[in-house]
Structure 1
Amino acid sequence: MTSTRCRAARTLSLLTLPLLLAPLSARAGESTAESEDGEALPRAPIVVTGRGLREGPATPAYDVRRLERDTLTSSASGRIEDVLASVAGFQQFRRSDSRASNPSNQGVTLRALGGNASSRAQVLLDGVPVGNPFFGYIPLSALAPERLGAVRVTRGGGMGAFGAGAVSGTIELESAGPDELGPLSAQALVNDRGETQSALTLAPRLGEGFVVAGVQWDRGQGFQTTPRDQRVAATARAGYESWSGSLRGVAPLTDAVEVQASGLVYDDARTLRFDGADSTSSGQQGALRLVGRGAWQFDVLGYVQAQDFSNVVISSTSFRKTLDQKKTPTLAVGGKAELRPPVGADHVLRLGADIRLSRGHLVEVPLNATTGLATAFRRAGGKQSDLGLYVEDDWTLGSLVVTAGARADRWTIRDGFYRELNAAGAVSRDTRFANRDGWSGNARGGLVWNAGRAVSLRAAAYTGLRLPTLNELYRPFVVFPVTTQANAALKPERLRGYEAGVDLHPSPALSIALTAFDNRLKDAVANVTLDATTRQRQNVNAIRARGLEASAELALGRVDLSGSLAWTDAEVEASGSQQALDGLRPAQVPRLFASGTLAWTPREGWRLAATVRHTGAQFEDDLETDVLPAATTLDLFAQVPLGRFATLVLRGENLTDETIVTRNQGGSIDLGQPRTLWAGIKLGLR
């Protein structure tokens, strides 16, 4: 893994260095041109945005919610998953946030299509997929809200130009620039348990471009995730320490073309439930992007990612190591190229291709819980690839906007293996799995009818594809007392979805959106119970989710009220040996989710906000035997200027100290975030 990290670091340096140097050669201030007689004439300065191409006019045909910077930077926890939870329908595999869960549980999904720990939503940071290629989890602790300018969440919508994997929706994270960040900003906070959160960001303008560099460091002893009556001498707090650093540069190449380079590095360490039950995740990625905004618009992106994961399993009876998952090195390279030719003012035509190549393997050592000696040595892994070709057109016909697109994907799963040696070093199992490949065709389409200034009607239909992850295919795992087996024969998941909605704007201060949807995920991967202590990843016939999503925003002067609600009727369709699952709700899926925020800005620089969230009851397992009760939480946020450059920040998580059950396996329970109070200072130059 050391060599992989070195390669990623060298790549990151090569990608970023040209962007650091390019702005230095640009002339600051207003650009000039020469007249016919040789005199210097002023012309408009070049404006770089650091973003991709503008969204098409038919984007509102899908169920889209945009979160602005004020919302991103005023969450009670300062974590991206807390921010995204304000969009009803967003969920992780478990209710824990990224301070108190195993990183491999951080799969995210939308539309109640959950049920396992792999992400069914595509998460992009400035156009780059950030999910771990081996597990499918999202490195949430590395995605600092303070470094973001906006987030766009599309629930449903199929694949389109987003790439494979977006079967439940797409979450697009957009980095902030100097206008939002200022040249220098910093913050430091501490909570009532002595845990700290600190960040520093520099965002200078250099000539006609800019550079943004940021670092964040979080650490703490954590809270007791184990209920008091289940604690033993070996019980430990959910301690954590994570840091992330980002470097991003943007510079103009011409009046209409800009180049963007970015790098992200992160490291995260956690302890869960027992002393020694430690997990780590780390990663490095670099990306280079060219964006052209002339008559022939284009967006060309390339990236490389190196990630790793480790985990130690502790016996719940002897409280000694039983499994050491030493490392899971993963490497992914990919890119995207999109062209928008000038086909007329009424059309936005997108022609593109994207590719992602990934590989990874695990190295783990089972241990004798009594002697501590190794009982075996295991390696497992494989490779995956996806090449996509797509075309999409948005056509404006007066008050009607129509969109249609098609996509073809060539995918492969190959070189899969599982190899195990016994304690003496002799081969006890050496399995090579058959290579698989195929073509998949998908399409999506929709329309928006702007019936008047106050009313827009929309409808959409779409399909999608998600390959099973290398983790699902080849890596078994244990959460005592249950072992979940891998399954190398898993088929890709395929989505078919429909939705219709209405957007109301009865006044400039009020907006309301309502969406009804029907999504069916064929061959959905689920953890299927085989007996009391064994589950296996299997394809069920389908997961079908039908429901309603609603959101509203009201702005009354300095008071803002926003809310989001999702009600979903989701059920498993199963037959044969899985017949017992037919008609049951998928594991980890609540029927109801609601969130509401009331914010008040009494004067410039102030912000006072209260957020109430409700998550309905859900089941831990596929057979609906273990219940996770409903939970309602209250969070508060206060920002009070202390002068020109300093601001007091006060935050409160779960102020009513609601009991949040995040895991329940036969009465063995883990708990979520208790009442937590934060105070700190934010500094900034403008």
Structure 2
Amino acid sequence: MAAVSSLAVALCCANPALAQEEAPAVPIVVTGYGLDEGPAAPAYDVTVINREALVSSASGRIEDVLSSVAGFAQFRRSDSRSANPSAQGVTLRALGGNASSRALVLLDGVPVANPFFGHIPLSALDPDRLASVRVVRGGGMGAFGMGAVSGTIDLASAGPEEIGLLKGNALIDDRGETQISATTAPRLGQGFVVASVQWDKGEGFWTTPKDQRVPASARAAYETLSGSLRAVAPLTDTVEIQASGMAYDDSRTLRFKGANSTSSGQQGSLRLVGRGDWQFDVLGYVQAQDFSNIIISSSSYKKTLDQAKTPTLAIGGKAEIRPPVGAGHVLRLGADLRLSQGHLVELPYSTATGLPTAFRRAGGDQSDLGFYAEDDWNLGPVVLTAGVRGDHWTIRNGFYRALTAAGSVSDDAAYANQSGWNVNGRGGLVWNASPAISMRAAAYTGMRLPTLNELYRPFVVFPVRTEANAALKPERLRGYEAGIEVHPSDTISLSLTAFDNRLKDAIANVTIGTNLRQRQNVDAIHARGLEATADLTFSTVSLNGSLSWTDSKVEASGDQAALDGMRPAQVPKLAASATLAWAPREGWRLAATVRHTGAQYEDDLQTNTLRAATTLDAYARVPLAGPFALVLRGENLTDETIVTRNQSGSIDLGTPRTFWAGFSMRLD
């Protein structure tokens, strides 16, 4: 944050140099973004969510926006108001439900996943702060970095053009919950500063069905406060500096009174982007997060476990250069580094005495150093791309230590270090067969390290206990895809992609006994399917739709043979979304969104089903006097029953019908 403050001072003091009379001043353009994508980026399955779609969702939450992308899925169907934060893993391509993300999520180039758990702090990512979201399904690792086995979700922050001088929202729903945000983006000199804060608070809805509630049952209460500060300024006519900081604090209550969880985090980054003949992008960041969680017994309704804290720290950076190699080529050469560490502190409690029975700690360190090279080659109607990436990774200092209530050591394990080199490649082509038709094909590989959570931390969702596994191997992806884009005009765009992805050594929660599971590597998860999108605009009316159909199966043998041929947990066969919007005048927007998620299984043995759900959302923005507008939002208007967890009949539910009303304002 100090870097942001210093840059803001520099912005305020900056004055453009006076040009000599005989030489006109060179225009300086400050974007706040990284380098442009290469010409072969369309070789992979890419979806871009624009600013209007980002700020007009029914819930105002980023996971709601991302759900419009075919193939996007969270570990559970719960949103960031009613899910345990550590279960907010996101994935693409039906590669299996996992609380750790199999998709790499970046904010202005910085990976935002929790370094210990691998989940995404969704409640801290306010869509109002974003200019666009670029989703690459599949695509391998390339220049993206470690972890992009199912794809990459690239979030780009908004600037003054999108935000104006001041923008704010204040809404309340029919349960009395509130959502308040304010963002200012003044231009200072030739750069700008963006400062934003958001506060969400509510007593929540009942996640427990009425016939399963007990006196200890509680609504899913939540409170989130997040803020960000970003400054962008030119250093020369081709080089700009970007400094960013973000902090958040989130608390939630799940199922029972006293079952409280908290998550918090701070991150800062400094980035230099050069757009001259030798283009470059140099980024450094630091990230600290923490998590706590109290588990309440579903039989005694007393505290059974206090996960007191899980401090984590990650530092990293990336450097990329694009030398001028001649017309028709975009060559990318780069390296990136990420170092992370984390540990947990937890105390199990006796429900009889209410006192702790032990003291436990676990954790470790991870690192990844990657080098990559990628070249896009423009050959008229055909664009080729090929890249290679090498990563040296380590998993070190893993431990699990437990003390009794009296202070004697009951368990003291130090796990063997792991390390290795992994080489991945990707390549593809785009053939612009005509101005209206483009065809593409790609092949790629990727890798994801097991998280410290998967390696060392057991957990309980009563009555099921899931054991950690320090012997887990990295997941490795191999994928192929082909697609066609039809765009007969600027107002019509249709896309169809067929893909075949195989995730070897996929990490899954495998049943090994009654109410007992362990994280294990299964032979593979093999996912094949179709993804389709449609974007149509006719005057003031637009229709945006997406559909994902997948045939995803577990490949397993030996002790896991019972899983062979089964569908991975938390993966539906069919998911679809469509948004119809009408903007009759400037500033107006009326929109309705229908989403369908097919049936899926809670567990690896397919004994507990989460039934299909179809929801209807709505959004309306109507300009009032001056800078103000009336905002109305409706979530799940048909009050569809959304089952988010089914543990042998013990049910959790998703968002019920919810109405929001409030005001927005914008000053330019």
The answer to whether TM tops 0.5 is: yes
TM-fit CA distance, 1:35: 4.2
Maintained 8 Å contact 1:32/1:42: no
TM-fit CA distance, 1:171: 0.1
Tell me what 1:92 maps to: 74
SS in 1 for 2:77: coil
**1:62 aligned onto 2:44:** yes
| Aligned pairs (5 A) from 1:338-377 | 338-377=320-359
Tell me what 2:448 maps to: 466
TM-fit CA distance, 1:636: 0.2
**1:153 aligned onto 2:132:** no
TM-fit CA distance, 1:542: 0.1
TM-fit CA distance, 1:42: 4.1
Tell me what 2:233 maps to: 251
TM-fit CA distance, 1:24: 1.8
TM-fit CA distance, 1:44: 4.2
Q: Which whole-Å deviations, capped at 9, do the CAs of 1:549-605 have from their partners, x for residues lacking one? A: 000011000000010000000000000000000000000000000000000001010
Q: Which whole-Å deviations, capped at 9, do the CAs of 1:464-508 have from their partners, x for residues lacking one? A: 000000000000000011000000000000000000000001222
SS in 2 for 1:83: helix
Q: CA–CA distance in 1 between the matches of 2:114 and 2:245?
A: 16
The structure 2 residue matched to 1:24, chosen from 7, 12, 31, is 12
SS in 2 for 1:113: coil
**1:570 aligned onto 2:552:** yes
TM-fit CA distance, 1:532: 2.2
> What amino acid is the match of 2:90?
V
| Aligned pairs (5 A) from 1:85-234 | 85-234=67-216
Q: CA–CA distance in 2 between the matches of 1:220 and 1:190?
A: 9
**1:242 aligned onto 2:227:** no
The structure 2 residue matched to 1:34, chosen from 17, 20, 31, is 20
Tell me what 1:584 maps to: 566
Q: Percent identity?
A: 73
**1:319 aligned onto 2:301:** yes
Q: How many residues align?
A: 668
Q: CA–CA distance in 2 between the matches of 1:541 and 1:477?
A: 23
Q: CA–CA distance in 2 between the matches of 1:35 and 1:400?
A: 46
The structure 2 residue matched to 1:332, chosen from 307, 314, 322, is 314
Q: Which whole-Å deviations, capped at 9, do the CAs of 1:44-66 have from their partners, x for residues lacking one? A: 43110000000100000000000
Q: CA–CA distance in 1 between the matches of 2:626 and 2:541?
A: 23
> What amino acid is the match of 2:4?
T
> What amino acid is the match of 1:287?
S
Maintained 8 Å contact 1:299/1:339: yes
TM-fit CA distance, 1:32: 3.5
Q: CA–CA distance in 2 between the matches of 1:187 and 1:89?
A: 30
SS in 2 for 1:650: strand
SS in 2 for 1:162: coil
RMSD, matched Cα: 0.8
Maintained 8 Å contact 2:61/2:126: yes
Unaligned runs of 5+ in 1: 1-11
SS in 1 for 2:470: coil
Q: CA–CA distance in 1 between the matches of 2:621 and 2:335?
A: 45
Unaligned runs of 5+ in 2: none
**1:633 aligned onto 2:595:** no
Q: Which whole-Å deviations, capped at 9, do the CAs of 1:306-360 have from their partners, x for residues lacking one? A: 0000000000111000000000000000000000000012000000000000000
Maintained 8 Å contact 2:390/2:424: yes
Q: CA–CA distance in 1 between the matches of 2:161 and 2:24?
A: 24
Q: CA–CA distance in 1 between the matches of 2:255 and 2:89?
A: 20
Q: CA–CA distance in 2 between the matches of 1:480 and 1:25?
A: 59
SS in 1 for 2:64: helix
Question: Which consecutive aligned stretches of 4+ in structure 1 deviate over 6 angstroms post-superposition?
Answer: none
Q: CA–CA distance in 2 between the matches of 1:400 and 1:644?
A: 50
Q: Taking structure 1 as the reference length, what is the TM-score of the superposition?
A: 0.97
TM-fit CA distance, 1:16: 1.1
Q: CA–CA distance in 2 between the matches of 1:508 and 1:414?
A: 52
> What amino acid is the match of 2:18?
T
Q: CA–CA distance in 2 between the matches of 1:191 and 1:197?
A: 9
TM-fit CA distance, 1:23: 1.3
**1:264 aligned onto 2:246:** yes
> What amino acid is the match of 1:246?
S
Maintained 8 Å contact 2:26/2:237: no
Maintained 8 Å contact 1:378/1:420: yes
Tell me what 2:290 maps to: 308
Tell me what 1:401 maps to: 383
Maintained 8 Å contact 1:66/1:151: yes
**1:476 aligned onto 2:464:** no
TM-fit CA distance, 1:114: 2.2
Tell me what 2:260 maps to: 278
